[in-house]
Structure 1
Amino acid sequence: MELQKTGCTHIRKLLKEIVGGELIDKHNQAGAHLFTGDRFFLGSIRNPWDWYVSHWAYGCDGKGTVFYNVTTDGWRGRGRGWKKHPMQTLAEFLQSRPNRHADQWRRTYRDANDPGAFRQWLHMLHDPTYWPDIGEGYWKWPANRVAGLLTWRYMKLFTCREGGLGALKSIVTPEQLAAHESRHCFIDAFIRNERLESDLLDALARADIAVPPATVEEIRMRPKTNTSSKKHGAQFYYDAATEALIAEREKLIVEKFGYLAPGAGACDRRATAPV
């Protein structure tokens, strides 16, 4: 299950080489038919502070769904899923709002190595005034007052089947959010971006898929794919206020996976992959 900007392009390439199969689509919810039989579900995740920097820097290169949505003036018709779910897409389109802040958003994408631009973007992303610009249904989610965009995507992808977002609409508190995730997350193993190769190999072993030693070593040495042009680590971009903002807005993911803020001097305090 591919969560954007968590190394999923790299994971996909490795899985293609090791286990074969085919890519049906990316970043989509799992269809109900996938829950028959004995399937092993993989999910990918990333340190939230690093995830937001990567997402913004990707936009500075003119890429990504959020970049397209927030920098497009007026109504957005492209990339909504018209072919796959025409009636649902039409209903969502009719309930959407035109983007009135495209110029402001474009200014925040001016330079992938400008921490001031990143902080401005981050504050806008977590300001209710600008939520309709983002799209993805996030601006209508009742829990958007207590959870950020990363948690919204996480909950949609890892706790709901295709088209099944009804249960998320009843969540309004952090406690309800955590309870829903605990009950409904169907991922058997998570691959953390920070230790992608090790977590992937551990997950394959748990799924009884043998990987030759030579392949293991080659995988560990391979460079990442689909990266952005930023030249600095996450700590370069954050100040105390924005660190605290992500700690609050992505509390569920921070606590589940044991992530630390950049100022703490580490990305992850756990030695084993959570499930």
Structure 2
Amino acid sequence: MSAESSNLSNIEHRAVIKYFVKEGKTPKEIFEDMVSVLQESAPSYTMVKKWARLFQQGRESCEDDSRPGRPVTVVTEENVRKIEKLVLADRRIKLWQIAEELQISKERVGEIIHEHTNMRKISARWIPKMLTPFDKQRRLQTSKDFLELVGDNIDEICDRIVTVDETWVRQYDPESKQESMQWTKKGERPPKKFKVQKSASKLMATIFWDSEGVLLIDYLPKGTTMNGQYYANLLAQAREAVVQKQRGKLSRGVLFLQDNASVHTARASRKLTTHPTAQI
């Protein structure tokens, strides 16, 4: 099998299983081989075992056995369009909800979604917060300014940078991965979800790091306020961490990368960040 064959129908899956059975492979070996090539499109191990057993017993057909009763006619272009419209209107809609809406079986709904609309359900990707258009524009301009500063000396500049940032360490009651799953077409970006239900318990962490790794992590003691003097003390500790962990960095001049929080621009902080060996 090749990477180009990574999107196969059920019948094609069975044909591959049949081939491997005739090669003498076990169901486990067949499953592992198919997963290594097809990845998320591979059939389940249960299906591989079922059809491997049938082929070992002498079955030749890869088609489903005919069933008594009315022939299946629900997989029509009209139903495909209806189901795709429902899914695009509500990316979190469930199979049983679509089945009830259209009065067809959940199995047929799943077949249409996976094989005819080329969609799958994946979990939302966690991001810290939603950026406004102004935030995005400001970040774009900051990036352009940085590129202008770097010029042709990207390695030298990045080696001199020490970044600092604060974050709240909280407990959350986020949406579960199962709850956040949405239908998406292949090639579409995964959905995003945002922080919800912040807990009352939190702890501020201040982290200093450079291109080699973390230099210093400070956890603000409970009941203490982050102010200019406290931050200035952290800068002094960060400077000592640079001396201990990145010898020679100070002599080349450190570029401190930080935001414009009030504690960062306080007089006590500026005294340290305007030192000849440090720039903002």
TM over 0.5: no
> Which structure would you say has the larger Rg?
2
TM-score, L = length of structure 2: 0.23
Higher percent of residues as strand = 2
Q: Determine which structure has greater relative contact order: mean sequence separation of CA pairs < 8 Å that are 6+ residues apart, divided by chain length.
A: 1
